[in-house]
Amino acid sequence: MSFRTLKDILAAVQIRQVPFWEAVLLDDVKERGIAREQSFETMRGMYQAMRMADADYDAELRSASGMAGGEGAKLEKFRRGENRLVGDYLSSVMEKAVKMGESNACMKRIVAAPTAGSCGVIPAVLLSYEEHRDVEEDRMVEALFVAAGIGEVIAASASISGAEGGCQAEIGSASAMAAGAVTYLEGGDQEAIVHAAALALKNMLGLTCDPVGGLVEVPCIKRNVSGAVNAVIASQMVMAGLRSAIAPDEVIDSMRRIGKLLPGCLKETSQEGLAITPSAQKITQKLTE
C-alpha cells in the first residue's frame, strides 16, 4: 500500500468520496494490480481464518514450554458465570484474545494481525462484535480493511516489530487497528476512526517487549487481552465525542521515537524487565533442564 500517514488515507477518502475501508481496498487494488473482488475475497479469507482459529481452540493443548494453554477455557467458564463486573461483549473479548494467543503458542493456525505475538487483539474485538451485534460478514471484512489501513501506516511510519520498537509496536499497533475497526462498525466516520486509533495507541506508548525465556507466551498472551479491551475503550470514548488532543499521525510518530529510545534490553532480547525477575528465571531454568 502507498499510505504513509493517516492523513493520506483521509485525503483519499475525500478525493474519491468513498468510505475509509474502500479507500484502503482501492489502494490495494492499485498496488497489487488485482481486481476489486480479488482484494475483498483475500481479506474475507483472513477473517474466516480468524473465525476458524477461534472455533478450533483446544483447551487440552499446551505449548512446548508448558507456559501456555487452557486459560482461554477458564475465561470462557467465567464468561458463562454470573460473578463478573464486565458485560458479555468485553467478557468475550477477553476470552477470545487469550484463546488466540494460546493457539499461537501451541503452533496452531492464526493470522498475524499485525504480528503473531499480537494475533489475539483484532480477532477478539471483531469476532466478539460479530456475535454480539449479529453483523453480516461483508461488513466485518470491511472493518478488517480499516484495520489494515491503520496497520500499514504504522508499519510505514513507525514499526510493528517488537525487536525494533518494543511491545508498543506489536500490541499497541494491534490495539490501534482494532480500535479503528470497531469504531467503523459502530458508525464512526473517518475522523472518529483515526482518533480511536490514536487514543488506543497513546495508552500503549513505551510498552516493553520482555518475553520470559525468549518465548512469545509470558507476558505476551495476557497483553493481548489488555490491547483488545483498550481498543474497545478507546472506540467508546470516541463514539461519545472525545478526541485525541495529539494529532493521530503525531501519536504514531511518537511511538517511532520512543521505540528508538528504548534500550535493546527491552526489545525482545529477554535481558531486562519481566524476563529477568526471580519468577522468570525459575521458569527459564526449567526450560533448559
Using the 8-state DSSP alphabet, how is residue 264 labeled?
G
pLDDT of residue 240: 98
Q: How much of the chain exceeds pLDDT 90, in percent?
A: 98
Helices 220-239 + 88-105 axis angle, to 10: 150
Distances (CA, A) of 283 to 66, 98, 261, 279, 280: 10, 20, 29, 6, 5
pLDDT in tens, 51-60: 999 999 999 9
pLDDT in tens, 221-251: 999 999 999 999 999 999 999 999 999 999 9
Domain assignment present for 1:
no
Query: What domain count does the chain have?
Result: 1
Domain assignment present for 151:
yes
Distances (CA, A) of 152 to 24, 160, 216: 10, 9, 23
Beta strands in the chain (DSSP E): none
Average pLDDT, the chain: 97
pLDDT of residue 12: 98
Per-residue exposure over 221-231, b if at least 16 CB sit within 10 Å of its own CB, e if not: bbbbbbbbbbb
pLDDT in tens, 93-134: 999 999 999 999 999 999 999 999 999 999 999 999 999 999
Please, are residues 110 and 103 in contact by the beta-carbon 8 Å criterion? yes
Range of the domain at 223: 6-288
- pLDDT confidence bin for 288, thresholds 50/70/90: confident
Dist CA 248 CA 7 (whole Å): 9
pLDDT in tens, 81-93: 988 999 999 999 9
Average of pLDDT values for 38-43? 98
Domain assignment present for 77:
yes
pLDDT of residue 289: 79
Q: Bridge partners of 209? A: 267
- Asked whether the predicted pLDDT for residue 73 surpasses 90, the reply is yes
pTM of the model: 0.98
Domain assignment present for 134:
yes
pLDDT of residue 1: 65
Please, are residues 152 and 249 in contact by the beta-carbon 8 Å criterion? no
- pLDDT confidence bin for 2, thresholds 50/70/90: confident
Domain assignment present for 136:
yes
Q: Bridge partners of 267? A: 209
pLDDT in tens, 184-227: 999 999 999 999 999 999 999 999 999 999 999 999 999 999 99
Domain assignment present for 267:
yes
Per-residue exposure over 78-97, b if at least 16 CB sit within 10 Å of its own CB, e if not: ebeeeeeeeeeebbbbbbbb
Domain assignment present for 78:
yes
pLDDT of residue 129: 98
Note the Cα 90 to chain centre separation in Å.
15
Q: The domain spanning residue 106 has which CATH number?
A: 1.10.4100
Q: Could you give phi then psi for residue 272, rounded to 5 degrees?
A: -155, -175
Amino acid at the residue 189: D
pLDDT of residue 261: 98
Distances (CA, A) of 6 to 35, 77, 125, 227, 260: 24, 40, 21, 20, 21
